[in-house]
Amino acid sequence: MLVPEVAAGAASELDDLRAACRAAVAHLETADVIVVVGADATTIRREPPFGGTLAPWGIDRRVGAPTTDPLPLSLLIGAWLLEDVHNRNIRYHSIAADAELGECEALGRKLAGSGTRAALLVLGDGTACRGEKSPGYDDPRAEGFDAAVADALAKGDTAALRDVDPVLAAELLVAGRAPWQVLAGAVDTPFGTTELLHNEAPYGVAYFVASWR
C-alpha cells in the first residue's frame, strides 16, 4: 500500500507516510554505502542484479533491474524507496523472519563493521492486529506492543529493541522484529539525533518511520 500504483484510489491516504519515508531516506544519501535490511525466509546477502515486480500484490510495477532472482517484498520496497537516491552503492541483505536475537545482532555487527561509512535502511512493520478489519483481526496486545516499539525507535533505545519478544511478535504478525534487532546489533554508540517521523496504523497495520543519525 505504500506504493501509490498498488494503493490506487486509496493512495492519498498514505501521503504523510510516504513523505516521512522520503525524509528519512534523504539522510542516507551521503553514506559510502547503503545497506537495505528486511525480513525473508532465510538470512542471505542478495547478489546483483537487484529488482523485482509488485505483480503478486496487484500490479506489474517493476522496481530495479530485471532479474531471475527477485528481491523479497521487504527489500523490494526498500529498492522502491531508493529509486531517486543518487547514491548507487546499495546492497541488500535479508534476515530470516524467525532468526534468533544472536543471529540478528551478529548480522548487524557485520554490516556495521565493514570499514565503510554505512547507512542502514531497515524495513519492517509493526503489528497487523490493530482492529477488526486488520489482517490479523483485533488483538488487545497489539497497541501496547506498537507503543513500546515506537518509543524505542524515537529514543534510539537498542536495548528495548533487543528485548522485543519474538513469540509475541509472531503472534501479532510483526514483520519488523528481526530487522529491528539487526539494527540494534549494528549500533554500539548513541546517535546524535533520533526522530520518530511517523507512527500510525492504517488498515490495522502499524507503520513507523524513524531516522537515527
Query: pLDDT (tens digit, 9 = 90+) per residue, 168-197?
Result: 999 999 999 999 999 999 997 777 899 999
What does pLDDT average to over the chain?
A: 94
Number of compact structural domains in the chain:
1
Enter the pTM of the model.
0.94
Query: pLDDT (tens digit, 9 = 90+) per residue, 96-107?
Result: 999 999 999 999
Domain hosting 102: range is 4-212
Query: pLDDT (tens digit, 9 = 90+) per residue, 107-122?
Result: 999 999 877 889 999 9
- The closest of 44, 182, 26 to 113, measured between CA atoms, is 182
| Other Cβ atoms closer than 10 A to 47 | 10
What CATH number corresponds to the domain at position 106?
3.40.830.10
Amino acid at site 188: D
Is 149 buried (19+), middle (13-18) or exposed (0-12) by CB count in 10 A? buried
